[in-house]
Amino acid sequence: MTQDLDFSDVRRLASESITAVVILRLADPNLQAIAARVLAVFRTIPEPQFDRALVVVTDRKIRIRRFMPPASG
């Protein structure tokens, strides 16, 4: 979980052994707002939805974008 947009490139994520990244994009990212929004996300989204996913959380919505596992070979 991060607020760092450097983690938002799904092409880069696919090449790494990362299972999920949650990016917080809140208008006022104070500790109370972050805690409340994170709790709401984890209460709303079933755990399997986070598998191999980039999850972008804003004040109003949650976007989930899948990334493919690294190619074996």
pLDDT band at 66 (very low <50, low <70, confident <90, very high): confident
All structural domains of the chain with their residue ranges: 5-66
Name residue 62's beta-bridge partners. 57
**Rounded mean pLDDT, 49-56:** 90
**Residue 69 dihedral angles phi and psi, to the nearest 5°:** -65, 155
Q: What angle do CA 71, 22, 30 make, to 5 degrees?
A: 160
Q: What is the pTM of this model?
A: 0.79
Residue 14 confidence (pLDDT) above 70: no
Q: What is the pLDDT of residue 61?
A: 95
- How many C-beta atoms surround the C-beta of residue 22 within 10 A? 20
